[in-house]
Amino acid sequence: MRSLRLNSALIIQKIIEDKVFFSDLKSRIDPRCISTTNMIILTTLRNWVGLRKALYSFLDNKIPNKYRLAEYLLIQGMAELLFMGTAHYAVIDETVDQVKRNCGKSLSGLVNAVLRNVIAHKAELRTRVHKSDLMPEEFRAILKDYGKVQIKKINGSIAWQPWLDISVKDNARYWAKKLSGDLLPNGSLRIKRRTKIERLPGYEEGQWWVQDAAAAMPVQVMGWINGLNVIDLCAAPGGKTAQLLARGARVTALDVSQERMETLQQNMNRLGYHNLRTKVIDAAEYMQTTKESYDAVLLDAPCSATGTLRRHPEVIHIKTQDDVDRQIQTQRKLLSLCSNILRVGGILVYSVCSISKDEGEKQIEWFLQEHKEFKIVPITLKEISTYGKWHENPILPNGTIRTLPYFERDRSGIDSFFICKMQRII
């Protein structure tokens, strides 16, 4: 069996050099050590930029490209020593051994010396890394519309380890007590313990599903939908579909991927939701060809997913402004077709898990200029604050929502979403 640390270093290398999402590489992890491997990889990715700068403060020369695996092993080892509390000897012994095996003996002495230096200056280095810029420059360009203070706060949130958020069918207070979770203002539960999801009470009984608190907000602001015909245009894996069903809507769920739709169906079966229609079809094609109309449309649009950087830190190493620009055209096409299937007076909720204003605030500015048949329905703070108060107000002056990853800092943050509620008036 391949060494755990070698395997994790190779996965990190694949993510950073080939721009591959971690979820696409998890099949390479031995199930027996998946928890430890996940923690090593995610901790290293969150702190990669700062750790790399710290590494080269110890070196006079750059590690030769042909031995770059040694750099990945070293930075990964630094992450374990500084942020995971792994036994010093375990990190040093295996890292040196893997460098010797895979890069030759010439670098083993250097690796040993660097890691021992890290141990000797642990407190200083930990502070230095956390105060450093953790974002690659190409990702930072996506934040061009934010101020310096906001960018600094976003940067700081990258290192936070998120807890598990779930949405419950009903009785949020009961499940908060049952699961020893924090009840967030919008009714989401935050579970502050590391355990297998399947082992938590209520999972097998289908009483809840995993969903970030911000991801729950688009459906929460739709208003009264009990008995209404609602379409979820980009539905898989089904968190928002489940919310719609829990609120009594007659739901049609679309997704372009058969595999993703099968996942959605499996999730709905576990939750006991069977009264929905599903269609495997491209949303744009469906809106151009169907004669059906709906009372409400949920467009959780394809996007750069840059707002999920807390849970998926590889995003900061993969996504660039080019990725944002590609998604903008898809979003505009889908938005422009919504009037084909939405009755006059009906509600359209547009959301993206993107931190880029190009995909959120600016996208809606463009849409309303081009489509006079729609107007914004201002969202009120009360709609997402049934169970308490948020520390930061995510409602923008025009009544849309923008959450940012540093919001709710004492609760370890929240995903970055943009949400806009509109009504068709013509």
- pLDDT, tens digit, 9 for 90 and up, residues 65-86: 999 999 999 999 999 999 999 9
Q: Where are the domains of the chain?
A: 4-132, 214-424
214-424 CATH pick, 3.40.50.300, 3.40.50.150, 3.40.50.9100, 3.30.1490.190: 3.40.50.150
Q: How much is the pTM?
A: 0.95
- What's the pLDDT at 104? 87
C-alpha distances (whole Å) from 10 to each of 74, 224, 335 are 12, 49, 40
327-369 per-position pLDDT tens digit: 999 999 999 999 999 999 999 999 999 999 999 999 999 999 9
- Is 251 exposed, middle or buried, given 0-12, 13-18 or 19+ CB atoms closer than 10 A? buried
In whole angstroms, give the CA distance from residue 396 to residue 394: 6
Q: Are 216 and 186 in contact (CB under 8 A)?
A: yes
C-alpha distances (whole Å) from 260 to each of 236, 238, 356 are 6, 9, 25
Written as six digits, the tokens of 352 are: 């993206």
Q: Are 196 and 170 in contact (CB under 8 A)?
A: no
Same fold, 4-132 and 214-424: no
- What's the pLDDT at 48? 97
In whole angstroms, give the CA distance from residue 248 to residue 86: 49
Q: Domain 4-132 classified CATH 1.10.940.10?
A: yes
Q: Is the pLDDT of residue 1 over 70?
A: no
- Residue 27 gets which letter from DSSP? G
299-320 per-position pLDDT tens digit: 999 999 999 999 999 999 999 9
145-170 per-position pLDDT tens digit: 999 999 999 999 999 999 999 999 99
Inter-axis angle of helices 122-131 and 34-56, to 10 degrees? Answer: 90
